[in-house]
């Protein structure tokens, strides 16, 4: 039993899902997908289907999954 004299840290840890945002260098069209091993920020990937320019990973971040209300 602990004495409630100094409070305690918030035990509700946020569960984050890691996403990778890909963006065409030219048309800036962003695509969001789940992170895969080997993804790095500013890594050049395939060619853009619309304008044939390079697609680059612009951001990698963790986001909390919001539970859908029924």
Task: Please give the residue ranges that form the binding site for other proteins (CB under 8 A).
Answer: 1-3, 5-9, 13, 16, 18, 35, 37, 39-43, 59-63
| Least distance in angstroms from the C-beta of 40 to other proteins | 5
Whichever of 40 and 70 has its CB closer to other proteins, that residue is: 40
* Radius of gyration of the chain measured on its C-alpha atoms: 19
| Ramachandran quadrant class, 37 (left: phi over 0; alpha: psi -120 to 50; beta: rest) | beta
Comparing CB distances to other proteins, the nearer of 18 and 27 is 18
Q: Could you give the CA distance from residue 23 to residue 59 in angstroms, rounded to a whole number?
A: 9
CB of 43 to other proteins, least distance (A): 6
């Amino acid at each position: 039993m602990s004495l409630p004299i100094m409070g305690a840290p918030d035990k509700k840890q946020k569960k984050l899902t890691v996403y990778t945002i890909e963006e065409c260098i030219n048309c800036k069209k962003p695509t969001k997908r789940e992170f895969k091993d080997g993804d790095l920020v500013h890594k050049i990937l395939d060619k853009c289907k619309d304008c044939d320019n390079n697609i680059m990973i612009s951001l990698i971040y963790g986001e909390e999954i919001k539970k859908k209300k029924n």
